[in-house]
Amino acid sequence: MIGHGLVRGLVRKGGENALVEHLAALLRIPASAERFITDVLGLHWSPADLEVETQVRERTTRARPDLVLKTPSMTIWIEAKLDAGLTDHQPAVYVDALHALGPGQGRLVVLAKSSRWGELASLLRTRVAHPPGFERTFTHRGVPVTQVTWREVRDCFHAQQLDEPIAAYLCSEFVAAIDHHVEGITIPMSMERIAMLNDSQVLQALAALEDVLQDLWDKLEADGFGSRYQDPGDLRQTGFLAWPAGDKDRMVWVGLIARAGVVWPGRGPVWAWLYGDGLTNEARLQAGGAEVIDAEGHLPDWADCSLVPLALTGETAGEVVEGLYRQLQRIWDLAGS
């Protein structure tokens, strides 16, 4: 495609502002706006009456959020962060301005890298004298304050199909920009992140995912796949090794990794670590539609293994297991082709 990589280049040079303008352009596309509003913000708006503005200066407080979404009944301010920290008046002045709009009319969203989840969770609450916690949303002065990761936004747009060529191009370049310049590092569970496990929602999410893994293991065993449990150790999460019968060269490790920002109910990650000689051709896997992430040494003891995120689809646990089962089969089929 002519110009492929152009948008990523602009984002790399323009940084945070370029990425925000790119996101704003996507949100002006009704189909993308609807997916973002539903999947990322958890709201139910019609994109038909959505206004999107960037770098808006609020008259009274002089606050300037990066991105503003407006409908006749609600205003959402999005403060986007890459590497910059919160300014002295964030989030207190933002919350004050949104509170002044009236009950239920304002919401603040802080959009940042997954790697900064714990840092921002503490700082946001400290700045407004809110009790500590790692939940995704807390409320101050009647204004919900929600943490969102660039990875979530990337996943939201990656999952959609757009028929209009320019819109599809913008979407694909946005996803690539996040992959290459924002969320390229996957964070393993560490002692510093154990504090997150004090949150009851996090515990419930991880417990539910471990149940799904157990059911998936049972299904693979029943269908004749090779598998065995692996000692988690080193604070790794529960998981198991699996491979097609008689073919350990296509071995994968299926498990959880507690990544900052994606450990609440319904959004916990499941990964497949790709091991064997039959899984080393990443180009072939990617050509077949599998998303392959190079760990680049960021995961202790797994430095030479690539990862494939497995989507948690389905309304019931059984449907989720079936979906994971199909995704693993696809990985093995691609590796064997």
The answer to whether the beta carbons of residues 335 and 287 sit under 8 Å apart is no
Q: For the domain 191-336, what is the CATH code?
A: 3.90.1150
Percent of the chain predicted with pLDDT > 70 = 73
DSSP state of 293: B
In the numeric block, the tokens 């204004």 are attached to: 143
| DSSP structure string for 134-172 | --SEEEETTEEEEEEEHHHHHHHHHT----SHHHHHHHH
Mean pLDDT, rounded, for 240-250: 83
Q: Is the peptide bond before 144 cis (omega within 30 degrees of 0)?
A: no
257, pLDDT greater than 70 = no
Please state the domain extents for the chain: 6-181, 191-336
C-alpha 210/C-alpha 268 separation (Å) is: 10
As a whole number of angstroms, the distance between CA 255 and CA 233 comes to 13
Using only C-alpha atoms, what is the Rg of the chain?
A: 21
Q: What is the pLDDT of residue 75?
A: 94
Q: Is the pLDDT of residue 301 over 50?
A: no
DSSP string, 26-84: HHTSHHHHHHIIIIIS-----GGG-EEEESPPPTTT----SEEEE-SS-EEEEEE-SS-
Is the pLDDT reported for residue 163 higher than 80? yes
Q: Cα–Cα distance between 323 and 331 in angstroms, integer?
A: 13
Predicted confidence (pLDDT) per residue in 57-111, tens digit: 877 777 889 999 998 889 999 999 987 888 888 999 999 999 999 999 999 999 9
Distance CA 65, CA 86 (A): 12
Mean pLDDT along residues 16-37:
90
Contact 99, 139 (CB under 8 A): no
Per the CB < 8 A criterion, the answer to whether 308 and 253 are in contact is no
Tell me the pLDDT of the chain averaged across its residues.
Answer: 77
